[in-house]
Structure 1
């Protein structure tokens, strides 16, 4: 047994023990997680068996056992599973949850694993007042995510207990932060500061039209459907912040800083503008042709995690069928998908469904980004809660240095 322990492992043996590819073993070496030694009289490296087994145990314990099958880092989570053309919140079909429950109830399910029928969120008056003043001070061209990010930072300053990362304290912050973000946005005239559900309060800040029941239901369902989606870029940023023990306001702010990108939360705005263009020009063919000619991908089509149709889009399109004002935008969206399919077979994604909603209800092109950001705050808090229960600073990868080898001479003036 002693001889077996002392025998050094080959790269292939180390990789099998760790459950990773041989390239990943060398990545562990470069990050200082393993030491290697050239094999005497042979090519390749050898590894200390005890060291490899210890790393394998640590990876299993931390739930981060190297790259996933797709090559991306893997992080243990109990929140969202994406499987084929469906996705699940804590094992329950997310589309069914959104169909039967409010956004607030879905958020509680993500946070606690328990349903809270009739769940309602209340914004503290002091936090709303501070957040509104900060948002009102922004220039007129500030985008929706700018406003939400500033509101989150301002609300944090009104909470002297924000550094309390106990679960109950974080849950209390979550239930007040989401409505604070919404109420920090100015209502669109003739609306006043609406009360009620998060969806009703958000509606008043996105469109001057009165909220009919069918349209409000679509908005509420969209919030619930978008509450989480595994480790999207913004969610990973939140987990990194939470790993460093940033408080929930700061973690949410980290997510808001990433979601603004055109490949993430702002994608629905691109789809909205394309949809308006199709409606004005009477058909999708010239619009799609111009996008392809310019070498751009068609907004609102395709999703790397769904080989078929995005289940969130499917659910929202079904509800939009019951909104009479949505008929022209729905027809335009189908025209876009059918026209683009002649070039590449891509299905509509949730960005196109959001674009139909925002176009049909008189919302600006930036409204989808606002809906996305408010909705995803629930998931960000859920991921922060998970990360607070993990080892601090575990989300700290090491750089794989590829620059010139030191020591280099000092640069000359």
Structure 2
């Protein structure tokens, strides 16, 4: 663990960062490549994080920097951000569900970025990028989806930021703290009487539904944002790291993530769960709705996650909070009916998409609301991963293709 100064690493952490055994760490000390000191509790040695990071970079450079994607199918990327373990997940070693239920989205984001909590922090957007983003969004067709708008907002905000190419940690975190509220501020408001200030979840609510929120509903939305901040190397996050590896600026890296997020198997999955939930509520039972999905050869949306053998901890947390929202009872019952009915075919548990669908259906939000929540929330995680990647060897995300085409030389085509 880090000491009170926040700049010391344990022997285990140092070994993991360097990719060596603990005894090798002490060999580095004996050769003068690292300095160590006993921690205040006398339980072991600690190491300066900056020295360790610099040594790791030198080692990668001296050995030619073996690619993180070096072998076919090898997608191992060392990260200090998120650990997924059986039925739980952690942000910098702290239980993510506990963190999100006890702290605001902005506080969770700060923890992921810096390893420090900033109680009461609220992200605010400068006027210039918001104005540019709103003009760009206004030029889109009326039927444009929210993620279409978010991509345009990101490009517009980048265009008015002359410091976007500064990849220092301070500059990138400054970008993060202004881009995220700009994403929300540039979305057309639905609840026009709502004040455009306060915690980010309150401002986002006014962009998702015309219904006035109660405190329980706002807490669900805020917690959902915190839970979705990061989830290890999801497809969109990997795209962000590839962009950052090429030293794309933070706005461009976020744009890469938004492009992948729109896939039906990623961020857009909650839209299908929303529509299924409405179908079950309309029919009064999940049986015919599930039968229709299976008959069409489709997966039942909102169920199962490849990383969790049991219930998605994000879904479990949101379902618990939704029980405090009186109007959520019918949608919650329908979600449980979906889970129980599908279990007759295959034992899958609810995932976060189904929980987001309960929130969106209960709150009168459109089917696309879950994807919007996902995109805004995950922007914080994408920037955290971009920051990590900026500290790695450039262009390391370059696997070799396994060519299976016609062998040369082939004649010129006529």
What is the TM-score with the length of structure 2 in the denominator?
Answer: 0.84
1:215 and 2:217 equivalent? yes
Larger radius of gyration: 1
Aligned to 1:152: 154
| Deviation digits for residues 130-155 of structure 1 (CA, Å, limit 9, x no counterpart) | 00110111111211110000000000
Which stretches in structure 1 are left out of the alignment for 5+ residues? 1-17, 19-53
Deviations 1:15-41 (A, max 9, x none): xxx9xxxxxxxxxxxxxxxxxxxxxxx
Tell me the CA shift for residue 67 of structure 1.
6.2
Q: Secondary structure at the match of 2:89?
A: strand
- Superposition pairs of residues 226-265 of structure 1, within 5 angstroms: 226-265=228-267
Corresponding residue to 2:340 among 327, 338, 341: 338
Q: Does 2:96 correspond to 1:64? A: no
* Ranges of 4+ aligned residues in structure 1 off by more than 2 Å: 61-68, 189-193
Aligned to 1:205, what secondary structure does the other structure show? helix
Secondary structure at the residue paired with 2:171?
Answer: helix
- CA distances 1:349-374 after superposition (whole Å, capped 9, x unpaired): 00000000000001000000000000
- Distance (whole Å) between structure 2 residues aligned to residue 123 and residue 153 of structure 1: 15
CA spacing shift, 1:58–1:86, aligned 2, 3 Å: farther
User: Conserved in 2, the CA contact under 8 Å of 1:191 and 1:208?
Assistant: no
Q: Distance in 2 between matches of 1:58 and 1:205?
A: 50
Could you tell me whether the CA contact under 8 Å between 1:178 and 1:374 is conserved in 2? yes
8 A contact 2:360–2:367 mirrored in 1: yes
Give the match's secondary structure for 1:88: strand
From 96, 99, 120, give the equivalent of 2:98: 96
Please list, as runs of the form range in 1=range in 2, the aligned pairs for 1:17-56 lying within 5 A after superposition. none
* 1:403 aligned partner: 405
For the structure 1 residues 90 and 65, does the alpha-carbon distance in structure 2 shift closer, same or farther, using more than 3 Å as the test? Answer: same
2:3 match: none
Residues matched between the structures, number: 358
Q: What CA distance in whole angstroms lies between the structure 2 residues aligned with 1:315 and 1:63?
A: 37
In 2, Cα distance between equivalents of 1:280 and 1:263: 25
Given that residues 134 and 151 in structure 1 are in contact (C-alpha distance below 8 angstroms), is that contact kept between their aligned partners in structure 2?
yes
Q: Which residue of 2 aligns with 1:295?
A: 297
Work out the CA distance in 2 between the residues paired with 1:72 and 1:273: 36
8 Å contact 1:326–1:356 — kept in the other structure? yes
Alignment match, 2:27 = none
With over 3 angstroms needed to count, the CA separation of the structure-2 counterparts of 1:62 and 1:221, relative to structure 1, is farther
Please tell me whether the aligned partners of residues 69 and 397 of structure 2 are also in contact (alpha carbons under 8 angstroms): no
